Amino acid sequence: MSIAASISDYRLLAKKRLPRQLFDYIDGGSYQEQTLAENSNAFDELKLRQKVLRDVSNIDLSSSLLGTKASMPMAMAPVGLAGSFAHRGEVQALKSAEQANIPFCLSTVSICSMEEIANQASASFWYQLYMIRDRNVVKNLINRAKAVGCDTLIFTVDLPFPGARYRDSRNGLSGSNSLATKFSRLFDFVSHPKWLWDVGITGKPLVFGNLVDEVPNAKSMDDLQGWLISQFDPTTSWEDLAWVREQWSGKLIVKGIMDPEDAQQAVKVGVDGIIVSNHGGRQLDSVPASLAALPDIIQIVNGACNVLLDGGIRSGLDVVKAMGMGADGTLIGRPWVYGLGARGEQGVTDVLEIMRDEMRIGMALTGHTNFDSISQDIFC
């Protein structure tokens, strides 16, 4: 596959290579997937203003994400189960991120543990945390993140209950654990022999690496997943965010803010950053696109903390548009996992290079040489 391929090509390659239940896990959304579609459609509706006869020979895409220098205004979002898409997938993704010089964020429900990632990392990485019922588990995860040198914690707040993801239910990834469902899963796996060898056989252990010590009686991924679902905490409140702030002295970003009042409250708690996100359309369907929620949140935050955008970004041009709308940076999830599922580390590297090239061309043809110079004037 040539580097000239688009991200949609990598999506199709991942769809072909991966068991259906794993592809649908990353590709799908909740309920009727209206918000999933809206996230991307919102970018499509923005039209760029093409400018000519400007010196764009020296384009600088570099940025600073909460003090972390990056080669472009983009971080790799936390994605659960990423290690099931390629052999020790989070490790491969980390290496691509480091090569590209952008931040990588490890999920609470990653396959590879934070210690495994730290052993392979040449610099600090970000860690994402869910609030779960047992606060001792949360505190232990925070302390482990400190111990391995993480300097940035992303606290995801939009999951008091898991959204209804119908693709996962149909494919047996969640819900029924009947004999018929187990047989269907097995058939799905053996129908993809390359994945089966690369991940299913030689990529073990396929468990939630950060949680195995917390669930000592778990014997399988199903056991760990059942425990995790039971631990999502609907009582989580702003007081819990304040408690996390007390526990964590590094940079703290809250992810899952879609409402200006919530953004204002997060600033009062003392977060360093807000990620405007609807969980990639995987939680509450029929909410606005993340991009649509961005302007009001930027206005009410008024520079008190960084505001990043997550959701719907499928190209480097989308990153340019997000920055034009006022974001301080962006996160990508599905694009890097499509690359990982298609070609492992090389696929992630290719996706990041595609997006870099698209950003560079987008900046050049709108007459800009750095992101500090763009605003909503970039749009028609």
Residue 126 lies in a domain: yes
Residue 209 lies in a domain: yes
Q: What is the pLDDT of residues 74-95, one digit of tens each?
A: 999 999 999 999 999 999 999 9
Distance, CA of 14 to CA of 338 (rounded, Å): 6
Name the catalytic one among 87, 192, 279, 368.
279
Which pLDDT belongs to residue 175? 63
Distance, CA of 376 to CA of 326 (rounded, Å): 8
Distance, CA of 85 to CA of 82 (rounded, Å): 6
Per the CB < 8 A criterion, the answer to whether 198 and 87 are in contact is: yes
pTM of the shown model = 0.95
Residue 2 lies in a domain: no
Classified as helix, coil or strand, 308 is strand
Q: What is the pLDDT of residues 195-239, one digit of tens each?
A: 999 999 999 999 999 998 888 776 666 777 788 888 889 999 999
Residue 343 lies in a domain: yes
> What value does the mean pLDDT take over residues 131-142?
94
Across-strand partners of 126? 105, 152
What is each CA distance from 111 to 81, 82, 160, 188, in whole angstroms? Answer: 6, 7, 22, 20
Classified as helix, coil or strand, 114 is helix
Q: What percent of the chain lies above the pLDDT cut of 70?
A: 97
Residue 378 lies in a domain: no
> What value does the mean pLDDT take over residues 167-181?
76
Across-strand partners of 74? 330
- 83 phi/psi in degrees, rounded to 5: -70, -5
CATH number, domain containing residue 204: 3.20.20.70
Mean pLDDT of the chain: 94
Which pLDDT belongs to residue 108? 95
Range of the domain at 15: 7-368
Structurally, the chain folds into a number of domains equal to 1
Residue 380 lies in a domain: no
What is each CA distance from 252 to 149, 205, 272, 277, 286, in whole angstroms? Answer: 14, 30, 5, 16, 28
Residue 186 lies in a domain: yes
Q: What is the pLDDT of residues 269-304, one digit of tens each?
A: 999 999 999 999 999 999 999 999 999 999 999 999
Q: What contacts 311, CB < 8 A, 6 or more positions away?
A: 39, 276, 277, 278, 279, 280, 281, 289, 290, 291
Q: What is the pLDDT of residues 19-70, one digit of tens each?
A: 999 999 999 999 999 999 999 999 999 999 999 999 999 999 999 999 999 9
Distance, CA of 375 to CA of 75 (rounded, Å): 21
Q: What is the pLDDT of residues 96-130, one digit of tens each?
A: 999 999 999 999 999 999 999 999 999 999 999 99
Across-strand partners of 155? 129, 254
Which pLDDT belongs to residue 162? 85
Which pLDDT belongs to residue 1? 43
Six-digit token pair at 316? 């480097």
- Whether 368 is catalytic is no
Residue 213 lies in a domain: yes
